[in-house]
Amino acid sequence: MKCLIIAAGKGSRLQHRGDSKPLIPILGMPLIERVIRAAMEAGAEEFYVVIGYQGERVRLFLERLAERLAIGIVPLMNDDWDKDNGLSVLKAQGVLHEPFLLLMADHLFDPNLVRPLTTLTLEDGEIALVVDGNTRNPLVDMDDVTRVKVEDGMSNGKIRNIGKGLADFTGFDTGCFLCSTGIFKALEQSNEKDGDTTLSGAVRVLAAEGHVKAIPTDDFWIDVDDPAAFRKAEQALLNRLRDKPNDGPVARYLNRPISVRISRHLVKYNVTPNQISGFSFLCSVLGAGLFAVGGYVALLLGGVLAQFASIIDGCDGEVARLKYQSSDFGGWFDAVLDRYADAFLLFGLTWHLLAVDANGWVLFAGFMAIIGSFMLSYTADKYDNLMRDRVRAGSKGGLRMGRDVRVFLIFLGAAANLVLPVLVVIAVVMNVETVRRVRVASVD
């Protein structure tokens, strides 16, 4: 699907962060790139970007971005960039002859918000607007947001009116549209009738004819229009990293709050998620080596390093999400390194005990701990998918026992110099949890 993005304005309220608003980085990535990448995930394949202020700089960036992403990006120059945004939309009249997505370069959104538009069928002359029905959305600037009045309810309703000054409204304009070529005719009619060249003016023309569908959403979006909104957007993007459903209690309440703070800085550098995964693995191997050295100081340092590696292990996925670099290989590679890291850490603890007392029970406890950790990881995918289905059905998800708990137990055992009890606990808990998962899955 083709996508038109308006990126012509000056953005004077954000000029302290950069001369060109579309190129202002937020968590290490320019606004316009975030919008394009989100649209790609939603299903957009070909892009037209209306540029204006500092147009040459934006054009050069878009050329490089098109090469990096291997997509088509066509810049359209709007010399009247300091006038209403409807004039920017009209610049695409000669190149867009079929339904297209219309987005704003300063509106960040979850791809799920736009995805319904890519499969929507429009009648001749119709457009559709994604409407946020949460009128108490804390990310919305009530003094600046465009308000929408939807008739017949938010679900499958038609937009009756739109504007910033509406007193009677049912939702907010997210800036995400699916447009037929009727939008161009409506812009011309709005200009001829009322001298109104805003996009909202064209929507009002079509709304009067019953030609504007409202697509309800409760997904994330934000208009990054001023310093306050910019700060909200940064925090919202970071907060979204904390909602990983597979996180165990240690990851959710200890590791994730720390890793998110680290990732906030990592995204500003040219570091890849796979490199972060590799660094975390090396920290685990070094921790295991310290376990094998012997002595309490080495044991303590190894435990601290193991827990640090567990925290860093969350950064690879966080950076991947923030920089739109998630991949099937990356997830698989991270899982492979995690299994190796677990084996090294547990073997290092076992070696630490065997160096003092070559006891067969120590070897057995270490072996069962390693087997339990591997089997728990092996059963994770099916179990997690099963729990997600149950949560969607209204049941409680329960407590997840995973790698975060295992590594934290290793850290506690090393810090308290209680290696054997911790190996036994890990061996028992991991294997019992594996058996429980098998039973749960068999019942289902």
pLDDT of residue 358: 81
- Positions in the chain short of pLDDT 70: 153-156, 384-400, 444
Contacts of 200 (CB under 8 A, 6+ apart): 146, 162, 163, 164, 173
> Token pair of 108, please?
């960040």
| The CATH number fitting domain 244-443, selected from 3.40.50.620, 1.20.120.1760, 1.10.3720.10, 1.50.10.10 | 1.20.120.1760
Residues of the chain with CATH 3.90.550.10: 2-234
Locate CATH 1.20.120.1760 in the chain.
244-443
User: How do strand 221-223 and strand 107-109 relate by DSSP bridges?
Assistant: antiparallel
SS3 assignment, position 397: coil
CATH of 2-234, one of 3.30.470.20, 3.40.50.850, 3.40.50.2300, 3.90.550.10: 3.90.550.10
Contact by Cβ (8 Å): 310, 407: yes
pLDDT recorded at residue 391: 45
Decide if 294 contacts 395 (C-beta within 8 A): no
User: Does residue 325 sit in helix, strand or coil?
Assistant: coil
Distance between CA atoms of residues 17 and 202, nearest Å: 32
φ, ψ (nearest 5 deg) of residue 119: -115, 5
Alpha helices in 199-327 (DSSP H): 199-208, 227-239, 249-250, 256-266, 273-293, 296-322
**CA pair distance 325, 157, nearest whole angstrom:** 36
Q: pTM of the predicted model, to two decimals?
A: 0.86
